[in-house]
Amino acid sequence: MTKKLVTKKLVTKKRRLLKTETLPRLSLRKKAKRMARAKRTARSPSPRRVRLLPSRCKTVDLVDEAELDFCGEMRELCEDISRRVPELSHVVMRDVLVCITRARSGGRTGLWAKLTPLRFEGGSRLGMRRGQRYVIEPLVVDGREQLYILTFCLPRFLNLTYREKLVTVFHELFHIGPQFDGDHRRFAGRYHMHSPRAELFDSEAERLCDLYLATSPAPLACRFLRHRCATLLARHGAITGLTIPVPKLIPVDEAA
């Protein structure tokens, strides 16, 4: 028997062995796809702290100030707003979790900020969607259940003009329902989020912003909004903030 023929037989035998060894693994994968998914339970997701770093800087040693806590600064600003603007005096920031999310680009196009209510209409814990009753995952931070999540998209939000950033904050705070029960502000009719004319909602945010500025707030309250993202990174080395997955809607029969 020639050496070439022996080599060919050995290769064929080896391939058959490899084929028989992989068959059980393939069958296990098929069985895994047929397995029922575990039911989700109503649990509290946990926020985690993230850092936004300069994209072109390998080190952040040469900085003028400590890292900027964006969520802490924004919380203090919102607290100052609720004290100075009567229309937003119902907002209690202890029950509002301020978060950040990473925007895919720093351009203007895309989401700037959003408010996520953690209750259904009227502050109810239960709501209906397509004939099915749901409950929202509870969000508990430091032993206190939160009613809203206020999220800002960085660096996009920070790259707006100072006026745009400030008005955006008022826009999102105005979404909070006047009862502060975890539901958003509702308007009559089909367009219950921004009213039938969205420009009226925007003009109200502008009015509230002007009302706040007329009270001569302390410059430190809005100082972090006066700079673009690159300037803040150069000054502080990093921007930190909390991030958290959006709480899910869980069918009542699965929420144990």
Assigned domain for 112 exists: yes
Dihedral angle computed from the Cα positions of residues 50, 96, 92 and 137, in that order, rounded to the nearest 10 degrees: -150
- Containing domain of residue 120, as a range? 45-54+63-187+195-251
Q: Where are the beta strands (DSSP E) in 94-238?
A: 96-102, 113-117, 126-129, 132-136, 140-141, 144-145, 148-154
Ordered DSSP codes for 70-83: HHHHHHHHHHHHHH
**pLDDT tens, residue by residue, 220-250:** 999 999 999 999 999 999 999 999 988 888 8
**pLDDT tens, residue by residue, 18-57:** 444 433 332 323 333 333 333 444 455 778 999 888 874 4
Contact status, residue 43 vs residue 250, Cβ threshold 8 Å: no
Please state, rounded to an integer, the average pLDDT across all residues of the chain: 80
Contact status, residue 146 vs residue 139, Cβ threshold 8 Å: yes
pTM of the predicted model as reported, rounded to 2 decimal places? 0.76
Q: Containing H/E element for 239?
A: strand 239-243
Assigned domain for 35 exists: no
**pLDDT tens, residue by residue, 185-228:** 886 655 455 555 678 888 999 999 999 999 999 999 999 999 99
- The encoded tokens of residue 28 equal 């296990």
CA distances from residue 255 to 107, 140, 251 in whole angstroms, order as listed: 40, 17, 6
Assigned domain for 16 exists: no
- The encoded tokens of residue 6 equal 């022996």
CA distances from residue 183 to 106, 115, 157, 238 in whole angstroms, order as listed: 31, 10, 24, 34
For the ranges 42-46, 126-130, 153-157, the lowest mean pLDDT is seen at 42-46
Assigned domain for 159 exists: yes
User: Count of domains in the chain?
Assistant: 1
Assigned domain for 239 exists: yes
Assigned domain for 165 exists: yes
Assigned domain for 133 exists: yes
Assigned domain for 164 exists: yes
Cα torsion 132, 38, 46, 237: sign: negative
Residue 204 CB partners (closer than 8 Å, separation 6+): 174
